[in-house]
Amino acid sequence: MNDRGQPMRAVAARVLQSVENGQSLSQCLPLALNDVADNERPQLQALCYGTCRWFHRLDAELQARLKKPLRKPDRIVHHLMLVALFQLRFSQQATYAVLNETVEACRALDKPHLTGLVNGVLRAAEREGEPEWPDDSARFSHPHWMLEKLRHNWPDDWQAILDANNAQAPMTLRVNARRFTRDDYLQHLADADIEAAATHYAPYGIQLAAPVPVDRLPWFADGAVSVQDEAAQLCTTLMDLAPGQRVLDACAAPGGKTCAILESCEALAEVVAIDESADRLPRVQENLERLDLVATLKQADAAAIDQWWDRQPFDRILLDVPCSASGVIRRHPDIKLLRRESDIVPLASIQLGLLDAMWQVLAPGGRLVYATCSVFPQENHRIIRRFLKQQNRATLITPDVQWGRDMETGRQLLPAPESHDGFFYAVLEKPEP
């Protein structure tokens, strides 16, 4: 029991229940962190992320060990046992502590009548070890629909993608080019005893050997660097930015790419950043202020151009569309629980609609970079192919790059252990009249 009266495993079980009910970890975990002592917060976060990461494997084992499913009012105890199973299978926590503290948490959840069940299930799990997995969904800990879609779309790579999704992502930085060269900042990291190396593809990227709190990073608060995956950093290398251009970052929150655009070209005429979410725009402003950058922020649906566009065309547009986020599961393992196969078709419709709208505000001679953090072709090269059929005057640009796979309409990065996330990029240009 911590000094706030909440057993950490009980708090984790409530977080898991919230995720099952449709909330993301980024929505429910920050509030839950207030329910535990400060020194327990890292462990609570690790429990919640780890249990989501291995949910389908843990759930398959738990269901096999239960004679019948728990009643709906007792469902939270199911989540409590998942948390405990995660610790038994994937942590160094002492077995007796896991068992005793999980039983204590069961009482704290007002479920004393289930303590015998919890104790019996966990003792059997500890004694018997992991079972044989009933199917690949349990073995690779992914929902069946997602696994089959990956198997179909990437017949030679699906297992590697699943393994990458189950690995913890590295911590990657983007050096603020207005403040430091990458080599200079690497030296500052070395002086601070932080092991790091330059990324392979992103020109300002640095990957740390092990994650550290941002307050350990030299001059982080003063805008020296930002935390951003290498794949996300690549957007600026495709935009062909130049002084005097007016640039739009559609669907901009939390603002990492907006800031990267401003850092990579100091003399832009204006950068406009749009996001539909009023709750997320303040995060964009916070990032801009920390980096001492200025952009025009607008809350709007980017597709509803009559509501926000001032009729002044943009020379460059970055369109990072809403998507399944199937390329960043290793950073957001709750996606496995939240995303449904039925989401893909509506998302594809939104993506195509945004492309149509952005084409209208792009200046003749201008360039649009389409991006997703998805590995599903339905959201990526098939969307571009559909758009090119509708806009036969659009020119597809083939970027001269060494990263990703050539999908004819763009470049696809697959998630790679100890490297970048999964991302797709396509580059379109609008001809002069």
> How many alpha carbons fall within 13 Å on the CB side of residue 82?
28
Amino acid identity of residue 71, one-letter, is: R
Q: Is the dihedral of CA 78, 80, 86, 92 positive or negative?
A: negative
Q: Tokens for 165?
A: 């999704």
Check the annotation: does 135 bind a ligand: no
Check the annotation: does 251 bind a ligand: yes
Check the annotation: does 416 bind a ligand: no
Check the annotation: does 301 bind a ligand: yes
Q: Do the bridges between strand 205-208 and strand 172-175 make them parallel or antiparallel, or are there none, so unpaired?
A: antiparallel
Check: CB of residue 272 under 8 Å from CB of residue 247: yes
Q: Tokens for 180?
A: 């430091």
Determine the 3-state secondary structure of 279 from DSSP: coil
* b (16+ CB within 10 A) / e for 122-139: beebbeeeeeebeebbbb
**In 10 A of CB 99, how many CB atoms?**
19
Check the annotation: does 250 bind a ligand: no
- Please say if 373 is a catalytic residue: yes
Check the annotation: does 315 bind a ligand: no
Strands, sheet with 172-175, edge to edge from the N-terminal-most edge strand: 196-198, 205-208, 172-175, 225-227
Which entry of 28, 106, 323, 373 is annotated as an active-site residue?
373
Indicate the burial class of 172 (C-beta count within 10 angstroms; 0-12, 13-18, 19 or more).
Answer: buried
Check: CB of residue 426 under 8 Å from CB of residue 370: yes
Indicate the burial class of 418 (C-beta count within 10 angstroms; 0-12, 13-18, 19 or more).
Answer: exposed
Q: How far is CA 369 from CA 238, 261, 323, 426, in A?
A: 7, 12, 15, 6
Q: Measure the CA–CA gap between 181 and 242, rounded to whole angstroms.
A: 20
Q: Do the bridges between strand 270-275 and strand 246-250 make them parallel or antiparallel, or are there none, so unpaired?
A: parallel
Report the candidate in 62, 65, 68, 67 with the shortest Cα–Cα distance to residue 83. 62
Q: Measure the CA–CA gap between 257 and 18, rounded to whole angstroms.
A: 30
Q: How far is CA 273 from CA 98, 301, 304, 360, 427, in A?
A: 47, 11, 14, 17, 19
Check the annotation: does 275 bind a ligand: yes
Q: How many residues does the chain have?
A: 433
Q: Where are the beta strands (DSSP E) in 35-89?
A: none
Residues near 338 by Cβ (< 8 Å), separated by ≥ 6? 19, 22, 24
Check: CB of residue 228 under 8 Å from CB of residue 169: no
Check the annotation: does 257 bind a ligand: yes
Q: What residues act catalytically?
A: 373
Q: Residues within the annotated binding site? A: 251-257, 275, 301, 320
Q: Residues within the annotated binding site for S-adenosyl-L-methionine? A: 251-257, 275, 301, 320
